[in-house]
Amino acid sequence: METLADSNNPLKKHIHEFKTQGFTVFPKTFDETWMQRARAIFEETVNRIPYEGETPPTNLINLIEHAPSHTLQAITVPKILDFAEAIIGPYVQLESITYRRIPSITKTKAAKQSKGGYHRDMFAFFPDDGVYHRPLLFNAIVYLQDLTDETGPLRVIPGSHMQALSIPRESTTAYPEEKVIYLKSGDVVMFHCSMLHAGSPNTSSKPRYIYIITYNHSWLKYRGNYNGPNAQAIIEFARKEKNRRLLRLLGEDDLLFSRANSGYQLPDEQMWERWIDEDRQYMKT
């Protein structure tokens, strides 16, 4: 079994980046075939589901029911789940999926928008200077197009998950420590819920598609709905396959209380590796 102590473990770089700067990027995680299908799913779904008013929704949720196979591919990327378990242990739960289609606006309108918009995410906390805390929630965000100055790059404040820092949302100037990230189509960026971040206006004349996979701890509540027939079919499949990782993602963790009450006589990461190996061996039996 590969452990986090292995010098050739490719996750070590991502873990270090996440802990020190608050985010890390997994390049080219999704291919163009998956992304083309994702764009089609958005259009098909908004044309099928009822909505109020004349304007179609810009956000989709409950993707497992709308497109189960495609969504299952998105939420079970091995290197993403390996990373997530290295950050919080084998307690990784799918909190929700939010799929957004952000319309383009004119450059004149964009120029009038603030340079702020910085925020921390749900389940975050105001940090202590220089102290790293494990996130209660973190996002894996897929952009379905290259981020340029026109499509609107991601803006982050590296290290702000460990800084007692406030930036007014209505700020009219860019923060000096701001880093602008021009992600490529198919890249995945994962960031700590307490890292300050913001989007940018889309002036490209085309919609900007963002696929947000949100993870949290399996003892916390979640917004996703896993009671539908497609989600239940996946859960039943996971039971037959003895796939504890997939069951945890969809809200079932039979070992939660025994592991959470383990006595804590070993470093957490050492216990996590033992439990992760147990889960892998259980699937093979």
Q: Which domains are delineated in the chain?
A: 11-284 (2.60.120.620)
Nearest C-alpha neighbor of 151 from the set 114, 102, 112: 102
Q: What is the pLDDT of residues 232-263, one digit of tens each?
A: 999 999 999 999 999 999 999 999 999 999 99
The rounded distance, in Å, linking the Cα atoms of 163 and 156 is 13
CB 94 within 8 A of CB 249: yes
Query: For 133-145, what is the mean pLDDT?
Result: 97
Model confidence at 4: pLDDT above 60: no
The rounded distance, in Å, linking the Cα atoms of 86 and 12 is 9
The rounded distance, in Å, linking the Cα atoms of 46 and 48 is 5
The rounded distance, in Å, linking the Cα atoms of 53 and 239 is 42
Query: For 142-171, what is the mean pLDDT?
Result: 94
Q: What is the pLDDT of residues 196-225, one digit of tens each?
A: 999 999 999 999 999 999 999 999 999 999
Query: For 170-187, what is the mean pLDDT?
Result: 90
pLDDT at residue 50 in the model: 84
pLDDT at residue 255 in the model: 97
> DSSP alpha helices (H): ranges in 113-250?
229-240, 244-249
Tell me the percentage of the chain whose pLDDT exceeds 70. 96
Torsion of CA 29, 32, 38, 40, to 10 degrees: 180
H or E segment and range at residue 80: helix 78-88
